[in-house]
Amino acid sequence: MLRLPALPPVVPVELPGQLRTRTRDGVAPAPQTLLADEAEGRDNLIAPRLFEELAAQPLVEIDWSGWYGPPNRFPMVHTDVSMVSAAFAVPLDSLRPLLPQTARLAPARLTPWHGVLLVSAYHFHRGGLGRYQELNIATPMLLDTPRRLPAWSLLREALRGGQDPALGLFTLASAVDRARPRDVGVQLYGLPRLLAHAEFALGSQTGLASMEIDGQRMMALEVSAPRSYLQWQMDLSHNSFSILQGQVLRSRCTVVAEGYRGARGSAKVEFGEHPQYRPFRSLPLLARPMETRICARLNAILGTPEPLGPA
């Protein structure tokens, strides 16, 4: 039985730049109010009780001058998502040129010589940013600490619950197929997020995703589960880091999913000639992924970004 993870913090924080934050008093942040402006899709909840607990949190809206869409409401919920991902070991010497130029964030080490590259694809059928598809490349990083995690099993367990505030995923490249999530990613989080054409297909044992701009391939991901496997519910909650206008942000994401997760699957990643993705072509990824995930059902709840000072 799935043990419900903790909800992410939602507070009316002061964010850098022209971002405006306000609290909606007297409005309970249930899915029906948080998604009141979203006409597409329907809720597909794995753990309804987790969403019932949202009623105890404040409802915070964030926008900025020139914002054109519905309010960006927090906690931001995604109530029907499909996902595939693969995690690879990668030499730190090859990974370092792609990392943010800040002494506050250091790559989490799988071994003294290896870090981790996590390649993920999502199809958001219903959520706080509407319906869209995303391909994302990230790596786990440590904030303001020299600690090292010496093995994948320890790193995986530390990431899964998102309980360690010093450990989180940092996005190295991201692409989506609709303007609204692109603009929120860039303006609110400082993500290197592009607008592209996406393809996402999910079967009982395989997941395929690709992105291209003007016919130019950016990235493709193919993930396969073992021939026979059991589906189960899992906690994939985690922290994420980003840098917005010179400030480090930490965001907590509570995630529950249903599907396959393990080391018996296979995956293939192809990086194209697009300038943002060309540097990844030279990464010597190990042929076999350390972990693959295929989740036909996923729910996510995002808290408000937390400013942590200059990068």
Residues 6+ apart with CB under 8 A from 203: none
Q: Return the number of other C-beta atoms located less than 10 Å from residue 85's C-beta.
A: 24
Contacts of 164 (CB under 8 A, 6+ apart): 158, 239
Q: What is the pTM of this model?
A: 0.94
Distance between CA atoms of residues 162 and 83, nearest Å? 18
Tens place of pLDDT for every residue, the chain, 311 residues? 678 888 998 988 888 888 999 999 888 899 999 999 998 899 999 999 999 999 999 999 999 999 999 999 999 999 999 999 999 999 999 999 999 999 999 998 888 888 999 999 999 999 999 999 999 999 999 999 866 655 565 566 655 656 788 889 999 999 999 999 999 999 999 999 999 999 999 988 899 999 999 888 899 999 998 876 777 899 999 999 999 999 999 999 999 999 998 878 899 999 999 999 999 999 998 778 988 999 999 999 999 999 999 99
Which residue ranges form the domains of the chain, and what is each CATH number? 19-310 (2.40.400.10)
CB 95 within 8 A of CB 283: yes
66: three-class secondary structure by DSSP: coil
Q: Which two tokens stand for residue 284?
A: 């010597």
Instruction: Give residue 309's region: left, alpha or beta (phi > 0; psi -120 to 50).
Output: left
